[in-house]
Amino acid sequence: MKQLQEILSAIGSWQAKGYQVIAPVRRDNLILLARIEDPSLINLDHILTVNTLKDFMLPRCETILRFDLEKACVEPGIDDSLPTIIFGSRPCDAAALSILDSILIGDVVDSRYAKRRGQTVVLTVACSRVDGACFCKSMGYGPHDPTGSDIILLPSQGGYLVRLISEKGRQFASDVGLEPDDAEADPEPELSRRVSTDGLKAWLDSNFEDPKWQVISENCVSCGTCYYLCPTCHCFDIADEAGISRGVRLRIWDCCSFSSFTKMASHQPRVGKYARYRQRVMHKFKYTVDNIGKVACVGDGRCIRYCPYGVDITEILKALVSGG
């Protein structure tokens, strides 16, 4: 078993080896994952950070290419990927990365994402507390689940046990001299929120047209908050920003709740807020299952915590499968 202080004090030496460290820090009254210089600022009091790991692997806005028309020159945006340690994110966020990996590093490889992922070691600090919005267990994960982590620290009697999960994690641990422990961890905290997914996929498979879609999406205002804070949502837009002859092409997060998302000159296939909300639910709980065999939800609960109108995905899933 190790004391947190021991691990935190090693972080400076990881940085000295050339790793950038991303960890939870307090910014005003929010706890956010951010690149840190000073490890003493790391804050592990949080249940969950507001932002997710996609901020660092698939940034909100990134330059895909730069062009200079006068010089007839087009070059890829700079490669900003660095050896990176993610320290102190939670198991649900690591699990979300494993879902993004299946989508973005598949038959087609998203080169910018893949480069960052290849250089990133995810060192998760498992949860000793949960809140009423967490429902990771219902999605097949849990407060101590190692999916997507390279190394996980499990709480044990006031300290932490180091578990090496992936080859990358073992490599990193041996590089920096982090020894694994095999003592028993504290029991996982209990989650009060549960939603059964029994019958959900079968219902979605056969109820694309159902009056319930109108009802369950009534409170949503299509603001996109749940998309931006979701650790698995990855839809993006590509757009140019240019002066007279020079400019950049950007990749920017986009959101299927916006009507512009599918609007074409010839037609708009997704008319109405309910159709866009249905896309969101279908994408997460049916289409991704059909395509990669996983639900695109890890039960982190951010969409429940931060929706300004109280839209609650677990209530919606229950309403969809319930009779009547």
Ligand X SMILES: Cc1cc2nc3c(=O)[nH]c(=O)nc-3n(C[C@H](O)[C@H](O)[C@H](O)COP(=O)(O)OP(=O)(O)OC[C@H]3O[C@@H](n4cnc5c(N)ncnc54)[C@H](O)[C@@H]3O)c2cc1C
Q: How far is the CB of 65 from ligand X (least distance, A)?
A: 17
Determine, following the binding rule CB under 8 A, whether residue 262 of this chain makes contact with another protein. yes
Q: Could you tell me which stretch among 159-167, 179-187, 261-269, 311-319 binds ligand X (CB under 6 A)?
A: 261-269
3-state secondary structure of 203: helix
Contacts (CB under 8 A) with another protein, residues 194-223: 208-209
Q: Which of 10, 67, 203, 210 binds another protein (CB under 8 A)?
A: 67
Q: What is d(CA 305, CA 68) in angstroms, rounded to the nearest whole number? A: 44
Structure tokens that stand for 55 in this block: 């901020």
Determine, following the binding rule CB under 6 A, whether residue 267 of this chain makes contact with ligand X. no
CA 243 to chain centre: 34
Contacts (CB under 8 A) with another protein, residues 129-188: none
Widest Cα–Cα separation across the chain = 65
Nearer to another protein among residue 173 and residue 282 (C-beta): 282
Contact residues toward ligand SF4 (CB under 6 A) are 220-226, 257, 307-309, 311
Q: What is d(CA 98, CA 111) in angstroms, rounded to the nearest whole number? A: 16
Q: Which of 18, 28, 70, 72 binds another protein (CB under 8 A)?
A: 72
Strand pairing class (120-125; 151-156): parallel
- The amino acid sitting at 121 is V
Q: How far is the CB of 271 from ligand SF4 (least distance, A)?
A: 17
Task: Please choose which of another protein, ligand SF4, ligand X, none residue 111 contacts, taking the beta carbon within 5 to 8 angstroms, the exact cut-off set by kind.
Answer: another protein
Neighbours of 13 (CB within 10 A): 12
Contacts (CB under 6 A) with ligand X, residues 225-244: none
The burial of 258, by beta-carbon neighbours within 10 Å (0-12 exposed, 13-18 middle, 19 or more buried), is given as: middle
Contacts (CB under 8 A) with another protein, residues 101-140: 103-104, 106-112
Q: Which of 263, 291, 309, 319 binds ligand X (CB under 6 A)?
A: 263
DSSP H/E element including 23? strand 20-27
Q: Could you tell me which stretch among 26-34, 195-203, 241-249, 303-311 binds another protein (CB under 8 A)?
A: 241-249
Looking from the CA of 286 toward its CB, the CA atoms found within 13 Å total 16
3-state secondary structure of 59: coil
Task: Please choose which of another protein, ligand SF4, ligand X, none residue 48 contacts, taking the beta carbon within 5 to 8 angstroms, the exact cut-off set by kind.
Answer: none
Task: Please choose which of ligand SF4, ligand X, another protein, none residue 203 contacts, taking the beta carbon within 5 to 8 angstroms, the exact cut-off set by kind.
Answer: none
Dihedral sign for Cα atoms in the order 229, 231, 235, 238? positive
Q: What is d(CA 234, CA 282) in angstroms, rounded to the nearest whole number? A: 15
Contact of 25 with 34, CB cutoff 8 Å: yes
DSSP H/E element including 121? strand 120-125
Q: Which of 78, 182, 265, 324 binds another protein (CB under 8 A)?
A: 265
Determine, following the binding rule CB under 6 A, whether residue 17 of this chain makes contact with ligand X. no
**Residue 300 phi, psi (nearest 5):** -70, -25
Determine, following the binding rule CB under 6 A, whether residue 265 of this chain makes contact with ligand X. yes
**Residue 128 phi, psi (nearest 5):** -100, -15
Task: Please choose which of another protein, ligand X, ligand SF4, none residue 291 contacts, taking the beta carbon within 5 to 8 angstroms, the exact cut-off set by kind.
Answer: another protein
- Name the residues that contact another protein, by CB under 8 A: 64-65, 67, 69, 72, 74, 76, 103-104, 106-112, 208-209, 234-240, 242, 247, 249, 251, 254, 256, 261-267, 269-270, 275, 279, 282-283, 286-287, 290-291
- Name the residues that contact ligand X, by CB under 6 A: 263-265
